[in-house]
Structure 1
């Protein structure tokens, strides 16, 4: 779980306090509001100018980056596909994080979870945009992290496939006691997790499921100086 305190980054983010403490959290807000920048900071892809980010009681600025990224895996908005087969692309995340390769059965299960009907030996050269997105989702779930950071996980998907993937992704996270933090513009997803929404506008938290706690904590913790 994350706790953000006095976070500032250029003229993009200015967040005094934010707690992300639910199994599934949706971050919403207009384009350019700082959502992706915040998400990238949660696994040290961006480093704040000021402030701290605490993950499960540890200041991430003091954590080993590789160790953090084994625990906190991010999937960006644009699918990254490597040359080679479907299997190559599923295994590469584990390779980069210096973990053991996945079994054949685990890889097939990950493809079924995102409804990607491809053989492990198939080439990735002719995958559609939606298929690439699903393959990337299968890859990050296969990494068995503690926390998943997803930037528009259902981008490039039709409504039916979006529903299927989000339902399966949610079951995977909840069933395995993991955490999911995702940016979304999807009304379908936002409605599904309406009690777990953080809204960011102009780099500030405008609404959060812990906003009441925010008001109490800031007053008690910072002596009403905010």
Structure 2
């Protein structure tokens, strides 16, 4: 899916060789400030690398139109934007920007169930808690049905029990729909439980990639 060769970005991240497989669950772990988020941003050109090469689907990523790339490789930041309006408005906004087919209210309700958010579609999104906003944003990204989900600490605002439930649901969705999920997580426990592969980064250096035996 992705191949990185001799990639460097400022003094923040250096990767000599890394392959991230298609339709797998890949977790990126490491200390705060180690370059995990930078790696995610490089994969859909939100950040441009200084040297080296990154390939997506065997195509040099710099040769792909960035708008088209970000429709297929969608990133959810750790603190996602919540826009004024209802939960429904927030769920639909990504689809409107990407000019995709609008789902029914039933489908939107099913998405709220997927992210375990017991709220009505017409409720004010700005009045939700931090964890609830995070789940609305996660639902918004999933509705876009990208080939690749790039998630930066998607459960950081959740308690441990809810975090496990949401990550499990997200992993199941990705596997059932043959999606590629690449996720930064602070939890080595979650990474070990759910990932097919774990990428370890320390002080801007890619240390190693480990396959997780199930």
Q: Report TM bin, short chain.
A: over 0.9
Bigger-Rg structure (1/2): 1
For each residue in 1:125-162, what CA deviation from the matched residue of structure 2 results, as whole angstroms up to 9, or x when unmatched?
Answer: 21000100111111111111100000001111011111
RMSD of equivalent CA atoms: 1.2
So what's the TM-score if we normalise by structure 1? 0.90
CA distance in 1, matches of 2:88, 2:179: 24
| Residue equivalent to 1:32 | 33
Shift of 1:117: 0.7
Classify 1:138/1:194 alpha carbon distance in 2 versus 1 (closer, same or farther; 3 Å).
closer
Paired residues of 2:25 and 2:196 also in contact (CA < 8 A): no
- Greater shift after overlay, 14-23 or 141-150? 14-23
Within a 5 Å distance, the mapping from 1:91-170 to structure 2 comes to 91-170=92-171
CA distance in 2, matches of 1:125, 1:150: 21
Paired residues of 2:168 and 2:194 also in contact (CA < 8 A): no
CA distance in 2, matches of 1:67, 1:60: 11
So what's the TM-score if we normalise by structure 2? 0.94
CA distance in 2, matches of 1:194, 1:92: 29
Shift of 1:78: 0.5
Unmatched 5+ stretches in structure 1: 211-226
- Give the secondary structure class of the aligned counterpart of 1:119: coil
For each residue in 1:105-135, what CA deviation from the matched residue of structure 2 results, as whole angstroms up to 9, or x when unmatched?
Answer: 2211111001101111111121000100111
CA distance in 1, matches of 2:60, 2:110: 35
Paired residues of 1:27 and 1:182 also in contact (CA < 8 A): yes
Paired residues of 1:106 and 1:142 also in contact (CA < 8 A): no
User: How many correspondences in the alignment?
Assistant: 210
CA distance in 2, matches of 1:32, 1:160: 26
